[in-house]
């Protein structure tokens, strides 16, 4: 995987090498970890913006429109379209999953789609690692589109610097949005399809709700900032006709510079990295230590004892933990 020629070609800006490396990283082929350690040691500059929202809200159309504006400004834009609900990669052929365009005047554009494989953790990890690869290749921006249907996409957007929640007039009940946990993760709300009836209503509802939450100090990104309390931007767009897309891009930029100035940008990345390292530690601990030390039938026996009322899960966990500790100390 980490043959010097492939990596060299990648570093020289060869798009085909990029695609191959992304595939290795996505499939976690032999040697992908060496690739990742190499990439982590390179200078990084790409900003990650995640877009999530209900199916058909216009996320892809928005991503296209926003990309076009930034490409014209000369930026190199990459897009990862993640579909946690689809078991197959959109189109069986790799060709359908990758698009690349070099603007004659302007930046480069790279698109990659990614569909569910195995665990939800796997999809989120693959997205993170692919974003790292695109960053290492030199893209200025990684736009990550994912359908807002559950925990998986929350994990995915957790790896972003800015999260855009896309709603449509049909989303109607904003309380549902609250329940879905989307307001907790949003940095920007977009009400797309604002050409349709009901758009004004949802903009007003959202703004009211956000103001209320702000006054109660319940929004995480608000309670973190002492002093001035910024409101979350709510932007009404029509992605098909490009209405307000320039405003959306301007909002990205102002939010980014504010977050970089007040330290939120670094704080978020630090938190994400801390979570990543703890997750890796947890995985190692569970898969290796637990299997090696406590799987000699002890766990199964303990579970049987709990089921017949002779033990309980808390004492079992305590005991197994002690057992593992002892075994580690004697190593
Ligand atoms: N009227 C109107 N239609 C829009 C707008 N934005 C997108 N659409 C249409 O809505 C449909 C879905 O758009 P997509 O961009 O594919 O939506 P999506 O959120 O990416 O969809 P999934 O990825 O399948 O969840 C398409 O037919 C778009 O042309 C808009 O602002 N107004
Ligand atoms: Mg889409």
Q: What is the mean pLDDT of residues 202-207?
A: 88
pLDDT of 218 higher than 70? no
> What is the whole-number distance in angstroms between the Cα of residue 51 and the centre of ligand 2?
10
Cβ neighbours, 10 Å, residue 206: 22
Is the C-beta atom of 153 inside 6 A of ligand 1? no
Compute CA 114 distance to the chain's CA centroid, rounded to the nearest angstrom: 12
The answer to whether 135 and 21 have CB atoms below 8 angstroms apart is no
Region of residue 221 (phi > 0: left; psi between -120 and 50: alpha; otherwise: beta): alpha
> What is the whole-number distance in angstroms between the Cα of residue 97 and the centre of ligand 1?
19
Q: What is the mean pLDDT of residues 127-135?
A: 96
Q: What is the mean pLDDT of residues 213-242?
A: 72
Indicate the range of 27-41, 109-123, 202-216, 300-314 predicted with least confidence. Answer: 109-123
What is the helix (H) or strand (E) element at residue 162, kind and residue range?
strand 162-167
pLDDT band at 291 (very low <50, low <70, confident <90, very high): confident
pLDDT of 179 higher than 60? no
Is the C-beta atom of 59 inside 6 A of ligand 1? yes
Kindly report the average pLDDT of the chain as a whole number.
Answer: 84
User: φ, ψ for residue 238 (rounded to 5)?
Assistant: -125, 100
What is the helix (H) or strand (E) element at residue 5, kind and residue range?
helix 4-11
pLDDT of 133 higher than 50? yes
Give which of 25, 192, 46 is closest to 112, Cα–Cα.
25
pLDDT of 290 reads 72
pLDDT of 53 reads 87
The answer to whether 236 and 196 have CB atoms below 8 angstroms apart is no
CA distance 317 to 151: 27
Residue with the bigger pLDDT between 54 and 234: it is: 234
How deeply is 151 buried, as exposed, middle or buried, from its count of CB atoms within 10 A (0-12, 13-18, 19+)? exposed
Is the C-beta atom of 66 inside 6 A of ligand 1? no
Is the C-beta atom of 268 inside 6 A of ligand 1? no
């Amino acid at each position: 995987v980490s043959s010097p020629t492939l990596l060299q070609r990648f570093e020289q800006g060869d798009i085909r090498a990029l695609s191959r490396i992304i595939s290795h990283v996505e499939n976690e082929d032999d040697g992908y970890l060496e690739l990742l350690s190499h990439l982590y040691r390179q200078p990084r500059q790409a900003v990650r913006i995640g877009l999530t929202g209900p199916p058909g809200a216009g996320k892809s159309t928005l991503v296209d429109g926003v990309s076009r504006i930034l490409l014209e400004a000369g930026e190199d834009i990459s897009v990862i379209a993640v579909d946690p609900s689809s078991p197959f990669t959109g189109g069986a052929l790799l060709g359908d999953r990758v698009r690349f365009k070099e603007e004659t005047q302007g930046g480069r554009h790279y698109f990659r789609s990614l569909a569910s494989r195995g665990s939800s953790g796997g999809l989120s990890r693959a997205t993170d690692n692919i974003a790292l690869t695109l960053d290492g290749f030199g893209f200025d921006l990684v736009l990550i589109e994912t359908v807002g249907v559950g925990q998986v996409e929350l994990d995915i957007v957790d790896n972003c610097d800015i999260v855009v929640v896309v709603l449509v007039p049909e989303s109607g009940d904003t309380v549902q949005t609250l329940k879905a946990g989307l307001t907790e993760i949003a940095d920007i709300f977009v009400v797309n399809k604002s050409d349709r009836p009901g758009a004004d209503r949802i903009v007003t509802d959202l703004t009211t709700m956000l103001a209320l939450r702000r006054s109660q100090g319940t929004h995480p990104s608000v309670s973190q900032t002492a002093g001035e309390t910024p409101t979350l931007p709510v932007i009404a767009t029509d992605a098909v006709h490009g209405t307000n897309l320039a405003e959306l891009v301007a909002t990205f930029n102002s939010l980014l510079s504010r977050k970089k100035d007040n330290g939120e940008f670094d704080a978020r990345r630090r938190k994400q990295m801390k979570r990543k390292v703890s997750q890796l530690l947890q995985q190692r601990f569970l898969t290796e230590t637990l299997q090696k030390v406590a799987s000699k039938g002890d766990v199964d026996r303990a579970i049987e004892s709990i089921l017949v009322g002779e033990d309980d899960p808390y004492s079992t966990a305590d005991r197994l933990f002690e057992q593992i500790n002892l075994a580690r100390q004697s190593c």
